[in-house]
Structure formats: C-alpha cells, structure tokens
Amino acid sequence: MTRISDMLNEEQRHEEKDLERGLKDRHIQLIAIGGAIGVGLFLGSAKAISKAGPALLVTYAIAGLAIFFIMRALGELLIHRPVAGSFATYAEEYVSPWAGYVTGWTYWFTWIVTGMAELTAVGVYVHYWFPDVPQWIPALVTLVVLYSANLIAVKVFGEMEFWFAIIKVFTIVAMLVIGLVIILFGVGDLGKTASFSNLWSHGGFAPMGVVGVILTLQIACFAYTGVELIGVTAGEAQNPEKVLPHATNSVTYRILIFYIGALIVLMSLVPWNELNPNMSPFVTVFEKIGIPAAAGIINFVVITAAASSCNSGIFSTGRMLYTLAQFKQAPASLAKVSMSHVPANAITLSAAVMLVGVALNYVVPEEAFVYVTSVATVGAVWTWGIIVWSHLKYRQAVKRGLATAVFFRMPGAPVANWFVLAFLGLVVVFLGTDPGTRVALFVAPVWFALLTVGYLISKSRADRGNGVLAAEISR
C-alpha cells in the first residue's frame, strides 16, 4: 500500500498544478444540497407516500442516518486526501486498484445515464409551455449551455449550481413557511382541515405497517443520491481543511430538514390518502393554498432541478475521467487541462456521450434504456459502499501507522461502517421487490464483469509500458 500511496501523493501534487481551487464554501454547500434535492422530491414523493403513508418519515430518517455516517466517512477521507478523484482514489489506495477502476468508471457511467435522463426530462417538461417544440431542441440547448459553462472555469460551474440549488431550496422553504402559518393559525379554506393530526388520523401513522417502511427504504435511499458529489469538488475547493468539514456536517441535517420537514408539512396540509400518486404533491398543495399557476411554478422548478443534475453530471464525469487517466486507466489525453484549468477533453467526451445517449433514448426500445439506467441504480449503492469500506480500511491503516490521522473523524467507527454496509445490503435485496428496479440485479453482474475485463486489459498495457520503460533505463 505504501507504493500506491507514494504514487497517489505524486498524482495529488500534479493535480494541484492542473486544477484551480475556485469553489467557495457557499458553492460547495449548495452543490451538495442541490445534488440531493431533485426531481424525486418534487415529482416522485407522492408515490412513496402512497406506499407507506406518514410512516415514510421513519424511512427517510433511517436512510438519513446512514447518509450521515457516509458523509462523515467521506469527510474524513477528504481531509486526509482532498483530490478530485475522491472515492475512486480512496478505493485505489485502501481497497485495491481494481476497486478504484470499477468505482471510477461506475460513477462516470452513473452520472452519464443520469445526465441523459435529465436532458430528456427537460425536453418533456418544456412541452408544458411549448407543446409544438420537438423534445430534442430543449435537450440540446440545455446541454450546450451547461457544457460551455463547465469549459469556462470551475467557478462558473459553481455559480450556476449555486443558483440552481437556491431555486429549489427557496421553493421548499416557501412551502414550509406558508404551510406552517396555515397549520398553526388556520389561515384560509385549507386552514380549516390542515393539522398535524393528519399524520395519524387517516388509518394511523403507519397504515401499511412495517412492510410499508421496509418497501420504501430504497426509494428514500436513492432520494439522497447526489450528496456524495461534495467529494468530487474536493480537488477544487478553496481552503478544503475548513470548507469540507463545514459542508459535510451541515449538508446532512439541512437535507433531513428539507426532506422530512417538507413531508411533514405536505401531509399535514393534505392528508396522505388525498394526494394523487401520479401528481407532484407540491402542485396539489400549492393549488389548494390558492397560489396562481401552481403547476407552472413547479414545472419551472423541476426543469431547474433537471438542469442542475445534468450540470453536476458534466462536472463530476469530467473530473472522474481526469482521475482515471491519471491512473492510466483511461486514455492519457483525458488527463490534459485547458488554459482555464479544467479537464476540457474529459468534459467534452462526457458531454458527447450524453448527447448520443439522448438521441438513442428516442430510438431504442424502452426496455433497453431501462437496462442501462439500472446500472445507475447499482452505481449509487456501490459508491456509498466503497466510501464506507475505504474509510474502514483507512482507519485500519492509521492504527498500523501506515496513514496519518486527521482532526475530522466519523463517529462510531467501525460499528457505524458495518451498520451502513448492512443497510446498503438490505437496499440491494429490496431492489428485487420492485419490478422497476429488479432488472438492476441482473444487469449489475454483467456490468462488473465487463469492467473487470477492462481493468485487466488496462493493467496489462500499463505493465507492458512499465516494462519497456525499465528496459530503456537499464540500457
């Protein structure tokens, strides 16, 4: 492991010359929050409510506890080595080069697929206002704008993501404030029926029993997908020793407030069994409050959320390809940076693949696209698992004197590590209970087998390259 650590130290010094630390504390705070608050909360939460009722709050709390430990583990590793490759680098150093390779490419593909889906969603949602505009036009315009912004400078990406997140956060806060006023003071027609007692007065707090809580665990888990994005910002964060612990600590409880707080107010304003599973609960509540053009407002927010997710995808995939190239696990040209200190080649390749994916989305059978997106489902679980496993191995290395301890530590280790791993294992099992996610269990082994073949090929080439270099030196 010492040899690998030496190599990574050299790569970290190289990265510090290449990349610019242009992301401020406020950027990173909102990047992490915005990454987790997406279309799932604004559109998909009604389906989760229909499956568990108010007990969904317990589901989100359990998943939130796991996320807390994951973020603290990531935070400790980030302080130890603040690099753009983040969890792929930690897997390389503390698990194995194979794990680093698989994590890097899986995370890259996860965000590529997510970006494709979000661009397609932008085209669909724009139809709300402009039904005659072909879906591919808004998707293409969005991709070109986001791609261009990512090429200019990292701080431009940070500013865009900051304001994207502000829109989402403002919408939730507005709903929380207005909702609480209605509930506490009985304002308007909705105030006559709005009450916290709606959380237990319609079939009880857990109308579906414990089964409802269990079956929605994976929904709650994937609702938080994106919080780990903070790790990819580490290589370009200003004053990482101060910024990253602050962001890691605050993002967890802020997300819990936004998710659990929003759900409490939503289900108190309108009983859970009166929410349409196929309609955004925000639209339902805003319409009942009497806010004009409620559907239009939420449609705008959803477009913003989709664009934000795609923006994060372009950023993270570019950095992940850059890191893989540093490890000689991707073409060397992807390790080059532009005059503005961004990995332009890697960003360009990722954006091009997203564009091709959007085009294919319109022509390939829907079943084929489901198979591809299922990899993204597994990718989230794998990434979180590798963060916690790498942290476990890092702590063991610290005990043996092979790594340096840092001031920011995850509480409860190693018990907390095993809790998270068990939780993620449970989520994988429950993927099989939902027809929409079951395919992931069949596609995942194929994906990891393909990556293993790719790793062996890249390792063989790297070994041959090192052998040639050694022969030249010995002459």
Give the model's pLDDT for residue 471: 42
Between CA 42 and CA 38 the distance in angstroms is 7
Query: What averages of pLDDT result for each successive group of 10 residues across the chain (475 residues)?
Result: 61 68 82 74 83 93 92 93 87 93 94 87 87 89 94 90 90 91 90 93 93 85 84 84 83 80 94 89 87 87 88 91 89 90 94 87 73 81 96 95 92 96 92 81 91 91 57 43
Q: Write down all domains in the chain, each with its CATH number in brackets.
A: 2-459 (1.20.1740.10)
Give the model's pLDDT for residue 1: 56
Give the model's pLDDT for residue 446: 92
What count of other Cβ atoms lies within 10 Å of the Cβ of residue 170? Answer: 11
pTM recorded for the entire structure: 0.91
C-beta contacts of 411-420 below 8 A and 24+ residues apart: 411/72, 412/69, 413/73, 416/69, 416/73, 417/69, 417/73, 417/388, 417/389, 417/391, 417/392, 419/66, 419/69, 420/66, 420/69, 420/70, 420/73, 420/384, 420/385, 420/388
Nearest CA to 73 among 275, 283, 245? Answer: 245
Give the model's pLDDT for residue 105: 95
What count of other Cβ atoms lies within 10 Å of the Cβ of residue 88? Answer: 31
Give the model's pLDDT for residue 468: 43
Span 441-454, pLDDT tens digits: 888 899 999 999 99
As beta bridge partners, residue 237 has 23
Looking at every residue in the chain, the average pLDDT score rounds to 86
202 burial via Cβ count (<10 Å: 0-12, 13-18, 19+): middle
Give the model's pLDDT for residue 267: 95
Give the model's pLDDT for residue 473: 37
344's tokens? 């332009």
